[in-house]
Amino acid sequence: MRTDAELKADVMERLDAIPAVNASDIEIDVDRGVVTLSGHVDTHQTRFQVERTARRVPGIRSLSISLKPGQLAGKKHYH
């Protein structure tokens, strides 16, 4: 069984790989394999992408999504 820290790191890494997602807009909490994602994304499509990506992480017992599309979400910034 994977630790909460391992699950969180895996989810963070996978979300960071989605071009439309600014991972700093998403809070990831993990408690005994239960992952909760909260925060903001730019569109409903992005929310769906985040959910689909998180569900693919092995070892997650349950996933709760509390992401609000279209509010204060930023895109990735490249300097």
Question: Tokens representing 48?
Answer: 């769906």
| Residue 29 confidence (pLDDT) above 80 | yes
Query: How far is the CA of 37 from the CAs of 1, 28, 78, 79, in angstroms?
Result: 21, 5, 24, 27
Residue-wise pLDDT for 30-49, tens only, equals 999 999 999 999 999 999 99
Model pTM above 0.75: yes
Q: In the prediction, which pLDDT does 1 show? A: 83
- Secondary structure class of 37 (helix, strand, coil): strand
In which band, very low, low, confident or very high, does the pLDDT at 2 lie, cut at 50, 70 and 90? very high
